[in-house]
Amino acid sequence: MGEFIALLQSATITIIGDVRRFPGSRRYPQYNQSTLADTLATAGMDYVALADLGGRREPRPDSPHTAWRNPSFRAYADYMDTEAFRQGVDRIITLAGIVGASGYVLGVEIDPELAARARENLSHLLQVEISHADGSTLSPVEFDAIFVNAGVTELKHGWLEALAPRGRMLVPLTTHFDNAQNAEVGLGKILKLVRRPNGFSAQLISDVGIYNCTGARAIETHEALRISLARDDADAVQSLRLDAHKVDSNCWLHTHSFCLSTLKLVPC
């Protein structure tokens, strides 16, 4: 929990919005709602429950969203049509106003229906742009933060080039395991990258199960990532290397386009 709080403080976070519908965990009790709220308060941050935006919904028998073959996605699309969901969105907008309206947010969605709905719902926010495009590429605009909300095996160089100095990126690195209950969902770790003057620091910060990212997966990387994850030593990762080099004992995950290394960045 200490590392989590330090991470929030390093990014000057003041409010945490918890969108979990069932905010409890037997395995990680420190993230139970009351415990998390108390810990955040001690650290000078506010906790806001936003269960109206949470998942794990039941699909409607007469669902109009039949294009979603996955029942969980279809159920959430149904829920997005409800007044409860709209109220949850309004609360997020209110919180954004409290924190500050400056800055620019770009959302990139490859599904045309989702992109259109997001654009309509957020059209009143002048600093938000929704683009129907392939998220594996970005315009040459600099971003302070990038969040990739789908599993990848490739770190697109366009993402890295778009990060401003000290910019942060969160991206799920996922692969598929033989015993997976859902073949459409990849399992792995969320990778946090920070652009430093001398390169990119790297940290694998949590487990993740998430759907695949179109345009950012390479078959040849799956097995290497699976082997690396099976070693259970993800805490050793400290940097991202983009230079050409031979595989050595410091390479936690070595691919044709990037390497997650256990080496610390050398100070400038």
8 Å CB contact between 102 and 66? no
Is residue 84 situated within a structural domain?
Answer: no
Is residue 135 situated within a structural domain?
Answer: no
Tens digit of each residue's pLDDT (9 = 90 or more) over 111-145: 899 899 999 988 887 778 898 888 777 666 788 88
Q: How many CB atoms lie within 10 A of CB 118?
A: 17
pLDDT score recorded for residue 124: 82
Tokens 């890295």 sit on residue: 160
**Helix, strand, coil shares of the chain as percentages rounded to 5?**
30, 30, 40
Q: Which domain holds residue 24?
A: 1-49
pLDDT score recorded for residue 198: 92
Is residue 124 situated within a structural domain?
Answer: no
pLDDT score recorded for residue 104: 76
Nearest to 55 by CA among 210, 245, 224: 210
Exposure string of 89-105, with b = 16+ CB inside 10 Å and e = fewer, is eebeeebbeeeeeeeee
8 Å CB contact between 264 and 237? no
Q: Residue 191 above 70 pLDDT?
A: yes
Token duo for residue 78: 């149904």
Strands 143-147 vs 105-109: parallel, antiparallel or unpaired: unpaired
Tens digit of each residue's pLDDT (9 = 90 or more) over 153-162: 999 988 999 8
Using CB atoms within 10 A of its CB, is residue 267 exposed (0-12), middle (13-18) or buried (19+)?
A: exposed
Is residue 45 situated within a structural domain?
Answer: yes
pLDDT score recorded for residue 268: 60
8 Å CB contact between 152 and 213? yes
Domain total of the chain: 2
Residue 50 phi, psi dihedral angles, 5° rounding = -130, 50
Q: Report angle CA 231, 235, 239 to the nearest 5 degrees.
A: 110
Q: What is the DSSP code (8-state) at residue 256?
A: S
pLDDT score recorded for residue 98: 64
Is residue 79 situated within a structural domain?
Answer: no
More confidently predicted of 216 and 96: 216
Instruction: Indicate the helix (H) or strand (E) that contains 259.
Output: strand 259-261
Q: Residue 65 above 90 pLDDT?
A: yes
Q: Residue 102 above 70 pLDDT?
A: no
Is residue 82 situated within a structural domain?
Answer: no
Token duo for residue 52: 């109206």
Q: Residue 46 above 70 pLDDT?
A: yes
Based on the fold, state whether residues 39 and 158 are members of the same structural domain. Answer: no
Q: Residue 219 above 60 pLDDT?
A: yes
Based on the fold, state whether residues 45 and 146 are members of the same structural domain. Answer: no
pLDDT score recorded for residue 139: 63
Tokens 């810990």 sit on residue: 39
Is residue 158 situated within a structural domain?
Answer: yes
Q: Residue 226 above 80 pLDDT?
A: yes
Is residue 128 situated within a structural domain?
Answer: no
CA distance 172 to 176: 13
Classify 199 as helix, strand or coil: strand
**Listed ranges 78-82, 102-106, 181-185; the one with the highest mean pLDDT:** 78-82
Q: What is the DSSP code (8-state) at residue 200?
A: E
CA distance 152 to 215: 9
At 100, the pLDDT band (50, 70, 90 cuts) reads low
**Residues found in the chain:** 268
- Range from 13-22, 127-136, 248-257 carrying the lowest mean pLDDT: 127-136
Nearest to 142 by CA among 115, 166, 108: 166
